[in-house]
Structure 1
Amino acid sequence: MNATIRIPVPAEFNFAVNLDYLSRSPDESLYRIRGGKLYKTIPVGTLTPLFEVCGDEPGCLLVSSLDEGQWDASTKEAVIRYVRDWFDLDNDLEPFYTMSREDPILSDVVPRLYGLRNMGIPDLFEALCWGIIGQQINLAFAYTLKRRFVEAFGRQVGRGDVDCWLFPDPEQVAELTVEDITALKMTTKKAEYLIGVARLIAEGQLSKELLLESSSFREAEKKLVAIRGIGPWTANYVLMRCLRYPNAFPIDDVGLHNAIKSVLHMEQKPTPARIKELAVGWKNWEAYSTFYLWRVLY
């Protein structure tokens, strides 16, 4: 068996708060949560390591293998890298917490969610698909559609009584027909967008590395919105959850509007112009501010 891996966590981290966020939908199939522990599989070359993450030891995450035999060094490194990215462990949140104490919107929200990280989607294709699937529908239905998509075209990995699904490969989705996807009760447009994005990635025209090589946030955003089916909301969602741009700001998001309306006890939802005024103190923390406000509702 592999030895347990200890991944140090920052002081501003609470495993239970993040696990609660990850528990929000019964339709989630890319990971499992049981007894306060998190189970996940990722592709590493031809391997699919299945591992457990728990927060039983103060100051670190404990990562344990469910696989028979030893992980080699590259597999272990890939798992550690994924977990660090997934939980955004390399981001120092102390400045965010300092800023939020004086902010009229965040001052009451952040203390209730202390230790919550912007839970990431490290894989670009998964992040883009999730953004496309979630366009203009409620969160519960988006999760249902994602589960159907994953279970129709992804791959199940199991060890004993634990199983997780791998997100579909872009190469596989690139070969699908629109009808293959609309059979899952997705719209024709979304099916076209998913196949189009898959083809760009499969052909090497789009990658996480290429986007991260952008000279600025605005250039990365511009590259994304040039893709059919990727508007400003989806682009900023991906920039926030996958590429980790701190100033990504899906300002047109209805959930963000409703959260601000709720927190400030407003009679009507704020306009994007008003949100820009309210968010003037969030500079370079727009992504985290949005994520925390989403958590007020979802």
Structure 2
Amino acid sequence: MHAFSEFQAWQNDGSDILLPLPAEFSFEQNYDHLATATDESLYTLREGKIYKAIAVGLRDTVVEVAPHGNTHLRISFIEEPDADCPELRAGVARYVHDWFDLGTDLAPFYEMARRDPLLKGAVESFYGLRNMGIPDLYEAICWGILGQQINLAFAYTLKKRFVEAYGRSVERGGERYWLFPAAETIAALTPEELFAAGMTTVKKCEYLVDTARLVVNGGLTREALLETGDVRRAEKMLVKIRGIGPWTAHYVLMRCLRMPDAFPIDDVGLHHSIRHVLGLGAKPSRERILELSAGWTKWESYATFYLWRILY
């Protein structure tokens, strides 16, 4: 089992929230990882602290996330009139817990990785890094679709256009913070309207709209994917949806559903990282990657994330 629990306890500290941290956690490593994103629209980094808008039910709020010693994250509300609302506080605590993947026990992963020639250097360099997730299913699928067949920098540009055209914003402290577009908002659009907003192809716009409608109609839920209990069954469920291939499916299962054996084996970034670590003259074959990853059982997701971090 990877998880300590579904959701660890949190506590109030005045108007702030203190969220307990597992031993294998480094705020600096996760902050540095977030800082690599170019043109990021969904969080702001300032002076060692993370600022993010979070939706809890019908409430939109903005929080500051910072370390509190080595044992907790401190979550502070920014100009929030309902900061004492129990449901809001619980929802924010749960979101941040999920975002930082605080429920996963990384000790077994590190034990395995230190003996693995591909992973040894990565876990030494990035010890305490978490697979920073995307808790919302529709957001995770959109990010997978937007990133198909383009470089990462341009994917961030597309995401920013998408967010600022159709997302909600919250103003706090003279700053504007954005929330990812709701599936309901995109479901009401036509692909042509999305394309006019700066997306790259009409096909991608069709995928984004079709998936939004599927989510809104209840045809695709986190619960249904989790109930499969198996990464292969969940992958089959996702690839039946137009615009979602094996890479996008495993990306979603890795970043949103937290399936530990999700493995986007055909990812170009993964290939480049393996080639870099091993000093290969060409990218490794699929068969070679399967050989190299034979010892990663139930840790394929984290192994991939750490190898990505070498390059990004």
TM-score by length of 2: 0.93
Task: Measure, in 2, the Cα distance between the counterparts of 1:182 and 1:175.
Answer: 14
Bigger drift between 106-115 and 2-11 goes to: 2-11
Task: Measure, in 1, the Cα distance between the counterparts of 2:113 and 2:38.
Answer: 32
1:19 aligns to 2:18 (yes or no): no
Task: Measure, in 2, the Cα distance between the counterparts of 1:282 and 1:126.
Answer: 28
Q: Does structure 2 retain, via aligned residues, the 8 Å contact 1:2–1:69? A: no
Residue 58 of structure 1, CA deviation: 2.0
- Where structure 2 has 5 or more consecutive residues not aligned to the other structure, the ranges are 1-12
Match of 2:55, SS?
coil
Task: Measure, in 2, the Cα distance between the counterparts of 1:6 and 1:286.
Answer: 31
Residue 92 of structure 2 is aligned with which of 48, 57, 79?
79
Which residue of structure 2 lines up, in the alignment, with residue 180 of structure 1? 193
Tell me the matched-pair count. Answer: 298
Which residue of structure 1 lines up, in the alignment, with residue 291 of structure 2? 277
Task: Measure, in 2, the Cα distance between the counterparts of 1:25 and 1:212.
Answer: 29
Residue 70 of structure 2 is aligned with which of 58, 63, 69?
58
Task: Measure, in 2, the Cα distance between the counterparts of 1:95 and 1:104.
Answer: 16
Structure-to-structure mapping, 1:108-257, within 5 angstroms: 108-183=121-196, 184-257=198-271
Q: Does structure 1 retain, via aligned residues, the 8 Å contact 2:187–2:216? A: yes
Match of 1:135, SS?
coil
Residue 246 of structure 1, CA deviation: 0.2
Q: Does structure 1 retain, via aligned residues, the 8 Å contact 2:51–2:62? A: yes
Q: Does structure 2 retain, via aligned residues, the 8 Å contact 1:17–1:113? A: yes
User: Which 4+ residue blocks in structure 1 deviate beyond 2 angstroms?
Assistant: 68-71
Which residue of structure 1 lines up, in the alignment, with residue 20 of structure 2? 8
Which residue of structure 1 lines up, in the alignment, with residue 10 of structure 2? none
The aligned amino acid for 2:102 is L
Match of 1:192, SS?
helix
Match of 1:71, SS?
coil
The aligned amino acid for 2:107 is E
Which residue of structure 1 lines up, in the alignment, with residue 309 of structure 2? 295
Q: Does structure 1 retain, via aligned residues, the 8 Å contact 2:15–2:84? A: no
The aligned amino acid for 2:146 is I
The aligned amino acid for 1:188 is V
Which residue of structure 1 lines up, in the alignment, with residue 119 of structure 2? 106
Task: Measure, in 1, the Cα distance between the counterparts of 2:310 and 2:135.
Answer: 23
- Where structure 1 has 5 or more consecutive residues not aligned to the other structure, the ranges are none
| Percent identity between the two aligned chains | 56
Task: Measure, in 1, the Cα distance between the counterparts of 2:14 and 2:221.
Answer: 32
Match of 1:104, SS?
coil
The aligned amino acid for 2:202 is T
Match of 2:170, SS?
strand
Bigger drift between 211-220 and 13-22 goes to: 211-220
TM-score by length of 1: 0.97
The alignment yields a C-alpha RMSD, in angstroms, of: 1.2
Residue 69 of structure 1, CA deviation: 4.1
Task: Measure, in 1, the Cα distance between the counterparts of 2:307 and 2:83.
Answer: 42
Q: Does structure 1 retain, via aligned residues, the 8 Å contact 2:38–2:153? A: no
